[in-house]
Amino acid sequence: MNIQYVASKQETQMLDTIDLRDRFLLESLFRPGELVLTYCDIDRVIVGAACPDARPLPLEASDELRCNYFCERRELGVMNLGKPGVVTVDGVAYPLEAKECLYIGRGSKMVQFASGSEGGSQFYLISYPAHTAYPTTKASLADANQLHLGSPATSNERIIYQFIHEKGIQSCQLVMGFTQLMTGSVWNTMPPHTHTRRSEVYLYFDIAPGQMVFHFMGEPQETRHLCVQEKQAVLSPAWSIHAGCGTGAYTFVWAMGGENQRFDDMDPAPLADLR
């Protein structure tokens, strides 16, 4: 398992483009036939992807976790971003269509990822430490809580799909869902904000070929940006804003961990204050 340490807000002010990408961007998560995991020091989040081919991929505890099985002291969120597939948890099979979500609770011993008959499943994984066990639960798009926000006039018309949250699938600290921008809209989370009580990970996808997303980060008075391609993830510390603007519409998975699960718990960064 890869280990990644992000920079402090003081260090970030001195990073060049290469160093900024090395610290905050995960560029190669989805590799055919492989399970890729990165352990990050912000809230001890693990970000990964499983792309099984003809052979299922088991989720095993690496030496860095010092445990008997991956979910011994962790919870896990899974979202399928590819063709239909199956996640098996302790002998129970959970079929997942594209953009469906599965929460796997602490104490689940055997987790395995498999592609369906078409092949090409791409499972995105987010895991945080967990202090108690909640039941493994699947959610389809119909199960998600939907929020319709923004407008064409401000180029940010979007639908937020909430799966793992305080009024949905229960968890210890993981909050997870995705946001889909409508055609003609390109901005997300603008005006931006921070939330000291939790960190966040953004995974951008459904970016059309030849297009990209500019992810804005940093302190409100010391902003930086990352150029992000299809299925790349940004690690967002609690002190950093997190907003994006694409050259076309796109979708992104957001996942948060920390001491607070309230979706509206944010500290606004007014546009006039941005530098």
Please say if the pLDDT value at position 262 is more than 90. no
Please say if the pLDDT value at position 207 is more than 90. yes
Please say if the pLDDT value at position 259 is more than 90. no
Q: 3-class secondary structure for the chain?
A: CEEECCCCHHHHCCCCHHHHHHHHEECCCCCCCCEEEEEECCCCCEEEEECCCCCCEECCCCHHHCCCCHHHCEEEEEEECCCCEEEEECCEEEEECCCCEEEECCCCCCEEEEECCCCCCCEEEEEEECCCCCCCEEECHHHCEEEEECCHHHCCCEEEEEEECCCCECCCCCEEEEEEECCCCCEECCCCEECCCEEEEEEEECCCCCCCEEEEEEECCEEEEEEECCCEEEEECCCCCCEEEECCCCEEEEEEEECCCCCCCCEECCHHHCC
Please say if the pLDDT value at position 260 is more than 80. no
Residue 208 corresponds to which tokens in the numbers above?
A: 């059309």
Q: Residue 67 — pLDDT band, cuts 50, 70, 90?
A: very high
- For residues 57-61, give the mean pLDDT: 97
- For residues 225-254, give the mean pLDDT: 97
Please say if the pLDDT value at position 263 is more than 80. no
Q: Which residue has the higher pLDDT, 30 or 193?
A: 30
Residue 193 and residue 268 in contact, taking contact as beta carbons nearer than 8 Å:
yes
Q: Residue 129 — pLDDT band, cuts 50, 70, 90?
A: very high
Please say if the pLDDT value at position 92 is more than 90. yes
- For residues 250-265, give the mean pLDDT: 88
Please say if the pLDDT value at position 56 is more than 80. yes
Residue 212: phi and psi, rounded to 5, are: -155, 175
Please say if the pLDDT value at position 174 is more than 80. yes
Q: 135-139, 185-189, 264-268: lowest mean pLDDT where?
A: 264-268
2-273 classified as CATH 2.60.120.10:
yes
Please say if the pLDDT value at position 197 is more than 90. no
Residue 129 corresponds to which tokens in the numbers above?
A: 């430490």
The C-alpha atoms of residue 62 and residue 68 are separated, in whole angstroms, by 9
Give residue 190's pLDDT: 84
pLDDT digits (tens, 9 = 90+) for 145-171: 999 999 999 999 999 999 999 989 999
Closest C-alpha among 4, 161, 176 to residue 75:
176
- For residues 205-211, give the mean pLDDT: 97
Please say if the pLDDT value at position 32 is more than 80. yes
Instruction: Kindly report whether the global pTM for this prediction surpasses the value 0.85.
Output: yes
Q: Residue 265 — pLDDT band, cuts 50, 70, 90?
A: confident
**Contact partners, residue 106, CB within 8 Å, separation at least 6:** 71, 72, 73, 74, 75, 130, 131, 132, 133, 134, 172
Q: How far is CA 177 from CA 93, 98, 135, in A?
A: 22, 13, 18
